């Protein structure tokens, strides 16, 4: 079975400093991995996805993630945090069939002024 573990429930950074949100996955085959962002009381928006092409994936709003098979990780990074980045972030793995996605429990990103 596929699963994801987000290693931090909350991350706090200062505006203008780098962001690192950590995600490890477990999969019996080569997975498809996603990062979604959710602002308060809103739906989810796709930031980026990995689908076995390039291991370094660039997404929207300056975010990127690197797929590391040897470490079973898919950490999300951004060089410089902006106040508008404050939100909940979900690491997600595709189940491989038709029944959708498996979500991590989320990381709440706090941006300090």
Partner 1 sequence: DGGITQSPKYLFRKEGQNVTLSCEQNLNHDAMYWYRQDPGQGLRLIYYSQIVNDFQKGDIAEGYSVSREKKESFPLTVTSAQKNPTAFYLCASSLPTSGSDNEQFFGPGTRLTVL
Tokens of 98: 């038709």
> Would you say 46 or 83 has its CB closer to partner 1?
46
Give me the 60-89 binding string for partner 1, x by CB under 8 A, dash otherwise.
Answer: ------------------------------
**Which residues 2-61 are close enough to bind partner 1 by CB under 8 A?**
9, 31-32, 34, 36, 41-46, 49, 51-52
Q: Count Cα atoms within 13 angstroms, Cβ side, for 40.
A: 4
Given candidates 17, 82, 105, 110, which one binds partner 1 under the rule CB under 8 A?
A: 105
- Give CA separation, 2 vs 28, 42, 60, 78, 81, in Å: 7, 26, 25, 26, 30
Residues in the site for partner 1, rule: CB under 8 A? Answer: 9, 31-32, 34, 36, 41-46, 49, 51-52, 90, 94, 96-101, 103-106
């Amino acid at each position: 079975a596929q699963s994801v573990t987000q290693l931090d429930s909350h991350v706090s950074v200062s505006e203008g400093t780098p962001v690192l949100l950590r995600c490890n996955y477990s999969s019996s085959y080569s997975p498809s991995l996603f990062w979604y962002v959710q602002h308060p009381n809103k739906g989810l928006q796709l930031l980026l996805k990995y689908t076995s092409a390039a291991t370094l994936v660039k997404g929207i709003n300056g975010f990127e993630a690197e797929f590391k098979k040897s470490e079973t990780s898919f950490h999300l990074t951004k060089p410089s945090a902006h106040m508008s980045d404050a939100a909940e972030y979900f690491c997600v793995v595709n189940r491989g069939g038709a029944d959708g996605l498996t979500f991590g429990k989320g990381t709440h990103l706090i941006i300090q002024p």
